[in-house]
Each structure stands twice: as C-alpha cells, then as structure tokens.
Structure 1
Amino acid sequence: MRHALDCRCAGLGFCRHKSLTRSAFVEAENKKDASMAKRYALRMDKPNSCTIIDVFTGQPAEFEKKMMIGIKTRRAEKIAGELNLQDAKRREEAGWES
C-alpha cells in the first residue's frame, strides 16, 4: 500500500488507517461520504482509463480548464473526490441539502 499518497492523513506524522488495505480504506471513506449526494462519478473507458462525468448532465467534467477524459483511474478518483467536495461546499453555502 502506498499509504502516503492514498491517505487524507498524509503529512500529519501519524495515521489511524495504517492497518487498512487500500480497498478497505476506500470503502470506509465511501461509507463516511454516503450521506453526501455525489455530482461527479467515474466512467471506465478502458483498463486504467476513466472519464469523470457530471451525473446531472451526463457530460464530462471540467477541472482546471481541462476536460476530464482518459485519465488514469487513481488520479480520476482523487479529482472526482475533490470536485464532489467543492460541489458539497457550494450546496451548503447556498443553503441546499446535499
């Protein structure tokens, strides 16, 4: 497991996730985020290649002025998570339920 790259605790000098495998860690994170509506999701194009889509429009997402098409899976997971977090903050600030 490449813990320092996969964990939100990276850089803190300690971590409660060290005993988890990557898949168990991802599952735990998904359960934690289950109450939040997710606007962005991954669509597998081919092995280790994803497109991040906006589930409301069905169109590829844009991140840092680039269309998120044909991205390596691990990077796509991180970007989709960041986009979903940004969307949740926008909804909260606007007073919308997630």
Structure 2
Amino acid sequence: MAGVKGRSGGARPGAGRKPKKPAATGLADPLDFLKAVWLGEVEANVAQVRAATAALPFMHKKLGEGGKAKDDAEAAQKEAAGGKFGRRGMPRLAAADGKAVK
C-alpha cells in the first residue's frame, strides 16, 4: 500500500508504547512491588514507594546482617586461628638482670 493515495501512514495495530499496569497489581511482597516499579511495569505514587521501602526490612533482611549463624561463624574462626599457627602471647622471661621474674 505504499503507493496508494490516502492509505500510507496512520496508526497500525500493535504499534506504540504498551499501556502500564495499574498500581493495584496484587503484589504482596514489597521487594516485588519495588522491582515492578523500577522496571516500569507498575505506576506508583510517592506514598506507595515510601510505604514499600519502609515495609521492606520487616520481610527481608539485609545481606550483611546475620544472627546466630554469623556469631557462630565468627567464634569458629577465632577458635581455628588459635590452633597450631595461631598468634601467641609474649614469651615469658625466666630471669631479668639475674633476678627471677614472676
């Protein structure tokens, strides 16, 4: 239809930007909601983003945080360091200037 007068140009089916999903998508997890906002799949207002950011620490912990497992790992590391090649204290002197050292 390139050469037909009045038929070239205009809207084509499927062309253009795809419509965004509404904000109520049923995403119960704040991390999934924030990812959807970040990727542009969901249009959210500032209050929704702030609420999801505030709720995030209650559902997901930070990568660096740990509980008992982290403490146990640190204790095991300290125990392993005190083995054959671990750091030792200062040597005890048997005598100093001919006098016994207590």
TM-score (norm 1): 0.25
User: Comparing both chains, which one has the higher relative contact order based on Cα–Cα distances under 8 Å and sequence gaps of 6 or more?
Assistant: 1
TM-score (norm 2): 0.24
